[in-house]
Structure 1
């Protein structure tokens, strides 16, 4: 009884100090967010590349220093501008990505990931290197560590296969003055916390065995790719008694839904600056036990979501709205 009393007294003494420390930390991170927003405003201004590159280096160092503090994972940093900030429900990592638009109209991707080493019970930070321009067949390659297919992410979906967590990332890359890209990638982790980019959890897609999916299309167009509840039809195994045609039933479920892309004219196949979405034709990936199964011709007559963010950490879905690309 006496020991319990001592514990209660000590707790009452230290609780105000703990609350005060949390308040101080909160104010610190709020001030750092303000500083980062000033930096990204400058990076996205009309200043020259040299000055903006210099500011980008300061930005990378600032974010790195913030993320090296293990306690930073507990703060949402949800007032950031121009930077995607993703943290899952289990706080196992934080992924921050952004784009740099050069004076020549080409985009570069930057990012850092704060990840957790379960063995050492400690977070560590990895600056990411965009290797997208160096990969001959990016959809069919798995990447690890700092090597990453650059994108800024506006949504992610948590799934699990055999008790291993996978995070399906949905992102955008401004790419060049002629084409832009939407990327469907997968993030998982080794036991030591090292990130693995890409996974063969996309099934029955025409591209075969893929680790990620890359949609490249004209900068003059907008392409829809997001996680949403829509419908698709499956055969019931029965036939109409009069017409003998197969009877289908409609299933409504959450899915990753996207426009179907195609060239404006047939002879422009694989010339992606001429690729645009087909009118009201949607395909999707439907989740089944953590894996994504390709489904053609999804019935997207349900109200499509507004092309706005669903959660604080994500960014707008509409291509040019996100980065104010010209």
Structure 2
């Protein structure tokens, strides 16, 4: 199931226009040859036998990728056959970010990645990403590429504010046998060096304001699903509201969606929290609606609906089915 999720996320990775000179014929041939090797190694990382086999593939994959990227103007080469590796470009194509995952036999995951800058002279400028998520207790960090909160990125949204570019990254972490995570964080560049995280997720407009977060993370039940992504139509980040199905809020591995939605709107250089995207009034004399079992197939990030919307649809269908059919005279 987890491996199918990885592949489905990678197929959703958007393709962006690139600007850079293409590698020459010799360079392109070298890149194609390197891609063939990387494709086989990436499959071994994804589905190799045991920890030893997958780790051996990782040890070969990384130097092979670096050698390929050293080819002049390699930035323009898409590596589109690497189906288990996420490769994302921002709108301005100033860089691209590679991420991939290694599953251990214990059910825990480790992530790997690199940022390749789009250089004018075609020479390689690369920032390797070192996953430290297994060794930190405070996830609300601001860090460089050497202290990266590892994940598999599946989307990137670029914003411009006061002569600064902000790149919002959306990531997924299969985490462990009991829970998985989705996260959103800001990537910026300071003196040409990547910075992950920052106080860009504001809760100042909540009824009870809370401190800003450097990184927003959803953790939820392994067998469940949760959405966290940018919605173009709403121009917002939209995500599932989660509740503990066992009424144990301290246990994140019990969290599931109640089919309600929260979000963040871009405002003055920050993502500002929206507590409830839909404001359906509760009828007088009735209590708050009880969360109902999820039908995940009905959920859509392009057309998010509240539980009340689904109830109204069901009622309309029921009425249509029970309505008597008039016979023709």
Q: In structure 1, what is the Cα distance between the partners aligned to 2:66 and 2:22?
A: 25
8 Å Cα contact 1:87-1:94 kept in structure 2: yes
Is 1:149 aligned to 2:145, yes or no?
A: no
In the alignment, what sits opposite 2:264? 285
Aligned mates of 1:210, 1:286 — CA distance in 2 = 15
1:180 Cα deviation after fit: 0.6
Task: Write the distance in 2 (CA, Å) between the matches of 1:129 and 1:261.
Answer: 30
Question: What is the alpha-carbon distance in structure 2 between the residues aligned to residue 275 and residue 21 of structure 1?
Answer: 48
- The normalised TM-score by structure 1 is 0.73
CA, structure 1 residues 117+198, in 2 after alignment: closer, same or farther (shift >3 Å)?
Answer: farther
* Aligned partner of 1:40 among 39, 42, 45: 42
Find the aligned partners of 1:44 and 1:169 in 2 and give their Cα distance.
23
Out of 227, 232, 236, the position equivalent to 2:230 is 227
The structure where strand makes up a greater share of residues is: 1
1:175 Cα deviation (Å)?
Answer: 0.6
Task: Work out whether residues 202 and 270 of structure 2, in 8 Å CA contact, stay in contact via their aligned partners in 1.
Answer: yes
Whether contact under 8 Å (2:220, 2:253) holds in the other structure is yes
2:193 corresponds in structure 1 to 194
The DSSP-based 3-state class of the residue aligned with 2:73 is helix
Q: Which residue number corresponds to residue 134 of structure 2? A: 133
| CA contact 1:68–1:125 (8 Å) conserved in 2 | no
Alignment partner, residue 84 of structure 2: 82
How far apart are 1:295 and its partner, in Å? 0.7
The answer on whether the counterparts of 1:168 and 1:187 sit within 8 Å (CA) in structure 2 is yes
Alignment of 1:202-281 (within 5 A): 202-204=201-203, 208-229=211-232, 253-266=234-247, 268-278=248-258, 280-281=259-260
- Structure 2: gaps (5+ residues): 1-20, 280-297, 304-329
Query: Which among 276, 288, 302 is matched to residue 305 of structure 1?
Result: 302
Partner of 1:164: 164
Shift of 1:121: 9.5
Which secondary structure does the structure 2 equivalent of 1:88 belong to? coil
Other structure's SS at 1:44 match: helix
Q: CA deviation at 1:66?
A: 2.5
- In structure 1, distance between residues paired with 2:266 and 2:215: 15
- The 1:102/1:163 distance shift into structure 2, 3 A limit, reads same
- What is the alpha-carbon distance in structure 2 between the residues aligned to residue 197 and residue 78 of structure 1? 26
How many aligned positions are there?
Answer: 261
